[in-house]
Amino acid sequence: MGRCEAIVKRLIIEDGLLITDMELTFRGQSLWIKRVLVDTGSGGTIISTDLAESIGIIAEEDDMIYRISGVGGSEFVFSKTVDSIKIGQAEIRDFPLEMGAMNYGFNLDGIIGLDFLQQIKAIINIDKLIIEFN
Amino acid sequence: MKWEDVCQAFPEQWVLIEAVQAYTNEESERILQDVAPLKKFSNSPDAMKAYQELHRENPNRELYVLHTNRKNPNIIEKKWVGVRR
């Protein structure tokens, strides 16, 4: 393997959605998040409040609050900087993650948005169903 | 009610509120003009659970969970295209 070899993470298409998984670390605790939508139409990266709570991520007084408005209506989320988010071998440290109800009528644990994809310099290859990170 | 009035009525609490009248200004800040407090809580996970239930039944209502120590709600609006089949 050459040093410049791209790191690759597999994707799957389920119910017409592009899905992968990721690992989240917050204050030293890690959580594997199984069903994560890869969504270039989402500015932010989000996980459900229920999952977040399981590793102690809860809303605090001075968290950033966002109103996310889109096709399906609007919802509110709070945001916290987590230790790291990892997709395969690609890791971003000190990343601002949003927590929300995620009542979309889909079985999703989280969404990887454009902010994360941009930071890891992702190349999404739909034909091969992989994300490459350079 | 104004947000300041909610803070005065429910000091040092988490509250589930509904924005009855609100707009987004040029700086993408959501300005809550008229707020209805729905329920108060001693901790945020309980408040979030109540929010989730209400949001599931009424996705069109504009709801927030905020702590009344926040002088200004300071809510920033972001766009999302959304998940559709």
Name chain B contacts of A74, Cβ cutoff 8 Å.
62
pLDDT band of residue A46 (cuts 50, 70, 90) is very high
**E strands in chain B:** 14-24, 29-41, 63-67, 75-80
Residue B85 has pLDDT above 80, yes or no: no
pLDDT band of residue B60 (cuts 50, 70, 90) is confident
Q: What is the mean pLDDT of residues B37-58?
A: 95
Residue A6 has pLDDT above 80, yes or no: no
CB nearest to A70's CB, from B52, B67, B80? B80
Quote the ipTM score: 0.90
Residue A4 has pLDDT above 60, yes or no: no
pTM for this model (two decimals):
0.91
Residue B83 has pLDDT above 80, yes or no: no
Question: Looking at the complex, does the CB of residue B52 fall below 8 Å from at least one CB of chain A?
Answer: yes
Q: Which range (A64-73, A111-120, B68-77) has the least confidence?
A: A64-73
Interface of A with B (CB under 8 A): 15-17, 37, 39, 41-44, 49, 53, 58-62, 64-76, 78, 101, 103-104, 106, 108
A110-134: per-residue pLDDT in tens?
999 999 999 999 999 999 999 998 7
Up-side HSE of residue B71: CA atoms within 13 Å toward CB?
A: 0
CB contact under 8 A, B80 and A69: yes
pLDDT band of residue A70 (cuts 50, 70, 90) is confident
Name chain A contacts of B47, Cβ cutoff 8 Å.
59
Chain A: residue nearest B52 by CA? A101
Which one of B80, B81, B84, B85 makes the best mutation probe of the A interface by having the most chain A beta carbons within 10 Å?
B80
A106 against A68, higher pLDDT? A68
Give the Cα separation of B51 and B39 in Å (integer).
10
A51-65: per-residue pLDDT in tens?
999 999 999 999 999
Chain A: residue nearest B44 by CA? A59
Distances (CA, A) of B79 to A101, B10, B63: 17, 31, 17
**B69 φ/ψ angles, rounded to the nearest 5 degrees:** -75, -10
Chain B: residue nearest A69 by CA? B79
pLDDT band of residue A1 (cuts 50, 70, 90) is very low
Distances (CA, A) of A88 to A57, A92, A93, B6, B31: 22, 11, 14, 45, 40
